[in-house]
Structure 1
Amino acid sequence: MALLRVSAVTKVYGPLKALDGIDLTVEAGTFHGLIGPNGSGKSTLLKAIAGAHLPTTGSILFDDTDITAMPPYQRARNGLSLKFQITAVLTELSVYDNVLLALQSAEGYGALLRSRSRQRLDAEVMQALERFRLADRADDLAGELSHGEQQWLEIAMALAPRPKLLLLDEPTGGMSPEERRVTGELLTPIKQDCALVIVEHDLDFIKNICDRLTVLDQGRVLGTGTVAEIEGDARVQEIYTRRV
């Protein structure tokens, strides 16, 4: 079943057409990778899906709801979550409190005022931290974590509200090879609960975790298919030889 359907989406910035008639379908329970040379439109497409940039033309359906012009906070309430490339954890708060705030963000002000949410949400916070191997760092300041651990913390925060779809923009940037390997291991189990759209330059990483890949080039879809189909596509091989 299609969880996300992007149809004929364009994004124009003055004379620049960053996206040019993009079609993309993401099925529930799958990991879908976006790859392509620098400047091909990958991050722009991710931001259009998340609502950070609205499309110039075209439509975006998420879980059978038209979200094309919907503000980001409403998309989040509908089950869409995004982690940008640059880590945005609250470095002066504890690792625990970063995840707690992510969970509290899904609640209304009234519920927060009337309840002792820290106690009520404790089990969920610790479960999220354990999933990303951060339970023993719960009381440490987020700023004391390594770069890779901060990335894991932010992914844990993005998943804490239990979204239906998670968008990740280059989550392994700046990580060591071992941290990238572990990141793949940590992401794989979420597939049973949450679909994933991921932009990543590390082709080995993205091929190891994704069910399908879409290749972008100059704002257009060059090809979509399984990892094997994309690897065998002569057009894809040519742009990576020529431009990557």
Structure 2
Amino acid sequence: MPLLEVCGVTKAFGRLMALRGVDLTVGENEFHGLIGPNGSGKSTLLKCVAGAELPTKGTIRFARRDITAEAPAQRARAGLSLKFQITSVLPALTVYDNVLLALQARNPISSLIFSRTRGTLHERVMHVLEQFRLVERSTERAAALSHGQQQWLEIAMALACEPRLLLLDEPTAGMSFEERRVTGELLIALKDRCSLVIVEHDLDFIRSICDRLTVLDQGNVVDCGTVSDIQSSAKVREVYLTRV
């Protein structure tokens, strides 16, 4: 049974059809990439899965549960976590406190008021920071990090509560070649912890980490399969020759 099932999802913004009956399945511990030209519906599909947008038609099931109309907070509690393209770390807080807040998000308000969680969560915060090569920057403000490091921090925050499915929207945008390489290493290390759905324009990057790819164009699924399947797909070549 797939972890994520998207069935016939359509999303309309007035007369604009951003998605047209999209199907997508993602298995446990599968890394699945969404690729396609600008405006093809990739980010809209990710937002529908996360609950930032609700489908006009279709259903979304996560871990056998219909989440089509559920709020983002309900989906997060079920094990979904989303990182948008634009970095949303808290720049005035330390790197440590950004991760701590992500962990505290699931604690009762009473425990936060009386500051009961900081000590008990310390080891988990440091473990997450170590995984993302940020331990030495833990006491610095997030604003002092490079763009790539801020992206790593936000991915670390998204993973802090150990989701079953991580959704990433263009995580390498604006990164240097070396930062993209390291990001790939950091994500591959997560393979035994969660599944991943990632939107990315860097085709070399997405091919290097993903098990399967879905290609979208103008809200439609052009093709879906393994990396080698997509590389040899005549339908995909036509889209990229005529639309990119």
Considering the TM-score relative to the shorter chain, is it more than 0.5?
yes
Give every structure 1 segment of 4 or more consecutive aligned residues whose post-TM-superposition deviation is greater than 4 Å: none
Supply the AA of the counterpart residue of 1:199.
V
Q: Find the aligned partners of 1:171 and 1:55 in 2 and give their Cα distance.
A: 24
Q: Find the aligned partners of 2:133 and 2:59 in 1 and give their Cα distance.
A: 38
The percent of aligned pairs where both chains have the same amino acid is 65
Q: Which residue of 1 aligns with 2:80?
A: 80
Q: Find the aligned partners of 1:80 and 1:106 in 2 and give their Cα distance.
A: 13
Q: Which residue of 2 aligns with 1:172?
A: 172
Supply the AA of the counterpart residue of 1:148.
G
Which blocks of at least 5 consecutive residues in structure 1 are unaligned? none
Say whether residues 1:93 and 2:87 are aligned partners: no
Alignment of 1:76-225 (within 5 A): 76-113=76-113, 116-225=116-225
SS in 2 for 1:222: strand
Q: Find the aligned partners of 1:62 and 1:105 in 2 and give their Cα distance.
A: 21
**Per-residue deviation, residues 27-74 of structure 1 (Å, max 9, x unmatched):** 011100000000000000000000000000100000111000000001
Q: Which residue of 1 aligns with 2:14?
A: 14
After TM superposition, give the deviation of residue 127 of structure 1 in Å. Answer: 0.5
Q: Find the aligned partners of 2:107 and 2:141 in 1 and give their Cα distance.
A: 24
Query: What RMSD over aligned residues (CA atoms) do the two structures have, in Å?
Result: 0.8
Q: Find the aligned partners of 2:152 and 2:184 in 1 and give their Cα distance.
A: 11
Q: Find the aligned partners of 2:226 and 2:111 in 1 and give their Cα distance.
A: 44
SS in 2 for 1:97: helix
Q: Find the aligned partners of 1:164 and 1:108 in 2 and give their Cα distance.
A: 22
With the length of structure 2 as denominator, give the TM-score of the two structures.
0.98
Q: Which residue of 1 aligns with 2:40?
A: 40
With the length of structure 1 as denominator, give the TM-score of the two structures.
0.98
SS in 1 for 2:86: coil
After TM superposition, give the deviation of residue 108 of structure 1 in Å. Answer: 1.8
Q: Which residue of 1 aligns with 2:51?
A: 51
- Aligned residues between the structures: 244
Q: 1:99 to 1:32 in 2, by over 3 A?
A: same
SS in 2 for 1:32: strand
Which blocks of at least 5 consecutive residues in structure 2 are unaligned? none
Q: Find the aligned partners of 2:115 and 2:95 in 1 and give their Cα distance.
A: 22
SS in 1 for 2:150: helix
Supply the AA of the counterpart residue of 2:57.
T
Q: Which residue of 2 aligns with 1:62?
A: 62
After TM superposition, give the deviation of residue 193 of structure 1 in Å. Answer: 1.0
After TM superposition, give the deviation of residue 115 of structure 1 in Å. Answer: 5.8
